[in-house]
Amino acid sequence: MTPEIADVKRWLLERKPEIGDLDPDFDLIDNRVIDSLSFLDFVFFLEELTGRELQATAETVHHFRTLRAIEGNILHV
């Protein structure tokens, strides 16, 4: 696990400690770890981490669906 994805995992677990742990393929959206109301904070956190502005749309929301997707589509592009 890269330091960046470990940061993402820590950020999510701080807000949803009841999950316990996050598997790389755990669906963050279906399991309501992130929802419409928490999404903006999550995007700002990822922007700060990556140093670039992000723009999510309904078509690219799958980039945020799992830790693996975040790593491949957002952290390391």
Partner 1 sequence: MSEIAQTLDRIIGMSIDTYYNPYKTFQWPDELPNEQWWMTRDLMTIRGTALESQLSEKQLMALSKWESIHFYSLNVHGIRELLLEVIKRVHTPGFEEESEFFHHFVGEENEHMWFFATFCLKYGKKIYVDKKIKIPAGEMPADIESLLVFARVLIFEEIVDYFNLRMGRDESLHPIIRQVNAIHHQDESRHIAFGREIVKLLWEGVRERHPAERQQEIRDYLGRYLQASIQSLYSPAVYADAGVPEPYKVRTALLADPVRHEADIRVLKRTTDFFSSLGLHS
Q: What residues line the site for partner 1 (CB under 8 A)?
A: 29, 34-41, 43-45, 47-48, 53-58, 61
Nearest to partner 1 of 21, 53 (CB atom): 53
Question: Exposure string (b/e) for 9-36, b if CB count within 10 Å is 16 or more?
Answer: beebeeeeeeeeebeeebebeeeebbee
Tell the smallest beta-carbon distance from residue 20 to partner 1 (Å): 22
Tell the smallest beta-carbon distance from residue 36 to partner 1 (Å): 5
DSSP secondary structure string for all residues of 4-23 = HHHHHHHHHHHH-GGG----
Nearest to partner 1 of 22, 28 (CB atom): 28
